[in-house]
Homo-oligomer: A and B are copies of this chain.
């Protein structure tokens, strides 16, 4: 992957804030320029939602987050950035002004525009260096939805498009190169068509906003999340396939099945009608609540699609694989083996909390399991090890849930190697509150080395076995076993 360490975000609204979160949570430093004094607060709220959602989305650990700074000028923001993303209002003159300011100091740096509708050739008009400008159109929420439409014009440099295509997938995004520039690119042409049809249906009193949403989300919306339009119809054609489907529904093109020969007049009255219906439909939720509901649903849908994996779930699977491998690469930090090992920290997420306001029982094992994963990564159980058909499974766990734990608490884990033999590893974890050091829970775990192809136990291999002896002989063998180790649940 080419060098990508800093991004500049010009315009920090819903879309700009989403880019900030996507970049920063993937370890990229971000500088923001937005003259709105409220921008840091608004972006902070988007970032908090994004962090919550991404941590729930990924089984794999996220990298150390990049820093977010607020610049006083465009020149300051773009200094040192390899990607400059423009997300200002959809006013062409304003975008041209931003590009001129950017290119006065950074004429060769990629400028991606979040524009929904303008073509790259329009964006490039009057630019110092048109070659570095392209459309990079994301979808809200930018930190969860994979799609980015990359639209070059003939004047866009091949190196710029290539750079964009190479850096987005490691961020969990899915670039779609639009080969011929066109107003509204591809996806928004459909959104616009549906939007215009929907305005007619509301205006003509056929359906309310809620009825229209229900007509989508209880039916074809569930299909489109995974297959889009054509593949859905290919299946709908049944055994006879696509040609049959086309033959059946082709003639409908002449039927009055849409009102799209015409555009509804966008009056104050129509705006009030729609805003009023939308209030009746969803007004009981704040926008932030709706965002979290949407994000939770998206996380669930993306994870469901990861099972096959299929579509956006395939993007997620590739993203997670790469995150895991990146975390393997961070394992070089040396530790003092005469003490227990500080390999893992965690934060109690809101969705880990039960109706009593405390961390749910099974999340204790969630944290201990992640701490075990951190230990395994540390001793060299990486993708190369697993590719050889070797893995290490937890076969037994003994947990003491000592204290209730509230949402948002920062936890620190201390791990001790209690022993190992040819095929087994015995570990303990102590969970403490990071701030006070208070003891919250303890875990003792037996792990078994497994041949995943043969499905049976097998001796540990290098580098795992040599790491274990280095840790053991380096000091852990001289540590006293914690008092909870080797203990059973008492009879009553």
**In contact, A183 and B228 (Cβ under 8 angstroms):** no
Q: Please, what's the 1-or-0 string for A64-101, where 1 marks a CB less than 8 Å from any CB in chain B?
A: 00000000000000000000000001100000000000
**In contact, A230 and B198 (Cβ under 8 angstroms):** yes
Which of B139, B211, B235, B254 makes the CB contact (< 8 A) with A186? B211
| B contact residues around A1 at 8 Å (CB) | none
**In contact, A258 and B355 (Cβ under 8 angstroms):** no
| B contact residues around A179 at 8 Å (CB) | 206-207
Task: Describe A's contact surface by its main secondary structure.
Answer: helix
**In contact, A149 and B488 (Cβ under 8 angstroms):** no
- Among listed A21-29, A333-341, A364-372, interface-contacting one: A364-372
- Among listed A104-112, A157-165, A399-407, A459-467, interface-contacting one: A399-407
Task: With CB as the reference atom, state the residue of chain B lying closest to A428.
Answer: B489
Question: CA of A308 to CA of B96 in the docked complex: distance in angstroms?
Answer: 44
**In contact, A266 and B253 (Cβ under 8 angstroms):** yes
Q: Please, what's the 1-or-0 string for A470-492, where 1 marks a CB less than 8 Å from any CB in chain B?
A: 00000000000000011111111
Contacts A354-B59, A397-B401, A488-B398 given: A217-B226 contact, CB under 8 Å? yes
**In contact, B399 and A396 (Cβ under 8 angstroms):** yes
**In contact, B391 and A401 (Cβ under 8 angstroms):** no
Question: CA of A355 to CA of B307 in the docked complex: distance in angstroms?
Answer: 10
| B contact residues around A145 at 8 Å (CB) | 218-220, 222-223
Q: Please, what's the 1-or-0 string for A213-257, where 1 marks a CB less than 8 Å from any CB in chain B?
A: 111111111111111111110111111011100111111111111
Listed A/B pairs (21) with beta-carbon separation below 8 Å: A14-B238, A42-B239, A140-B223, A174-B218, A179-B206, A180-B204, A180-B205, A192-B252, A195-B229, A218-B315, A222-B312, A227-B297, A235-B294, A238-B287, A242-B275, A242-B279, A301-B304, A361-B365, A361-B397, A362-B365, A445-B489
